Amino acid sequence: MKKRVLTVDDSRTIRNMLLVTLNNAGFETIQAEDGVEGLEVLEEANPDVIVTDINMPRLDGFGFIEGVRKNDRYRAIPILVLTTESDAEKKNRARQAGATGWIVKPFDPTKLIDAIERVTA
């Protein structure tokens, strides 16, 4: 069965890149545009892994991760943070919010797939 990936990113460019990369790698991809939408579609999307941006309108990545972790069904789901922020503070905050790992932009398909493979069975 195909693994399902929920991506949360407000940038259309990045959303499209994620979609193309993930589909090519044989994942099923569900997309949301910000944290609020991400939480809204979570149940229905029923993902195996989540990839989320940090800087987003309405609800940022930190809030989104916390929201996911509060959901009993998904509180142990792997969540990867897509971020250009390579500074320690951001990563630390994402980690504290419950992120499993991160992918540092610029977006690199290989890195993305590697990271997903690393956190999913």
Partner 1 sequence: MDMNEIKEIFFQECEEQLAELESGLLKLNDGDRDPETVNAVFRAVHSIKGGAGAFGLDDLVSFAHVFETTLDCVRSNRLDPGPEVLKVMLKSADVLADLTNAARDGGSVDEARSRQLIKELEALANGEVPQASAAPEPVAKAAPVAVAPVVNDEGFQPVAFSFDDFEADEPALIDMPTYEIVFKPKSDLYAKGNEATLLLRDLSRLGEMSIHCDMDALPALDRLSPESAYFAWKISLKTDKGEDAIRTVFEFAEWDCDLEVTLVAGEAAAPGEELPMQPVPFDLSILDDEPAVSVGVIEEEEQLAAQQEIRDAAVSAAATASNVLQMAQSANRAPAEKSAGAAASAAAQSAAAQQAAASAATPTIRVDLDRVDRLINLVGELVINQAMLSQSVVENDANGTSSINMGLEELQQLTREIQDSVMAIRAQPVKPVFQRMSRIVREIADMTGKSVRLITEGENTEVDKTVIDKLAEPLTHMIRNAVDHGLETPEKRLAAGKSAEGTVRLTAKHRSGRIVIELADDGAGINREKVRQKAIDNDLIAADANLSDEEIDNLIFHAGFSTADKISDISGRGVGMDVVKRSIQALGGRINISSKPGHGSIFTMSLPLTLAVLDGMVVTVANQTLVVPLTAIVETLQPEAAAIHSFGSNQRLISIRNSFCPLVDVGRILNFRASQANPVEGVALLVESEGGGQRALMVDAIQGQRQVVIKSLEANYTHVPGIAAATILGDGRVALILDVDTIVAASRGHSLKPEMSLAAAG
Q: Which one among 1, 44, 106, 110 touches partner 1, defined by CB under 8 A?
A: 106
116 scored as a contact of partner 1 (CB under 8 A): no
Binding of partner 1 at residue 113 (CB under 8 A)? no
Residue among 3, 4, 41, 101 that touches partner 1 (CB under 8 A): 101
DSSP string over 10-43: S-HHHHHHHHHHHHHTT-EEEEESSHHHHHHHHH
Which of 5, 61, 98, 116 binds partner 1 (CB under 8 A)? It is 98
DSSP state of 109: H
Q: Backbone phi, then psi, for 22, in 5-degree steps?
A: -70, -40
Q: Does 46 bind partner 1 (CB under 8 A)?
A: no
Interface characters, 65-84, with partner 1 (x: CB under 8 A): -xx-xx-x--xxxxx----x
3-state SS class at 97? helix
Q: Is residue 107 near partner 1 by the rule CB under 8 A? A: yes
Residues, the chain, total?
121
Q: How far apart are CA 18 and CA 71, in angstroms?
A: 25
**Residue entry with tokens 């090519």:** 24
Among 4, 10, 28, 41, binds partner 1 (CB under 8 A): 10
CB of 2 to partner 1, least distance (A): 18
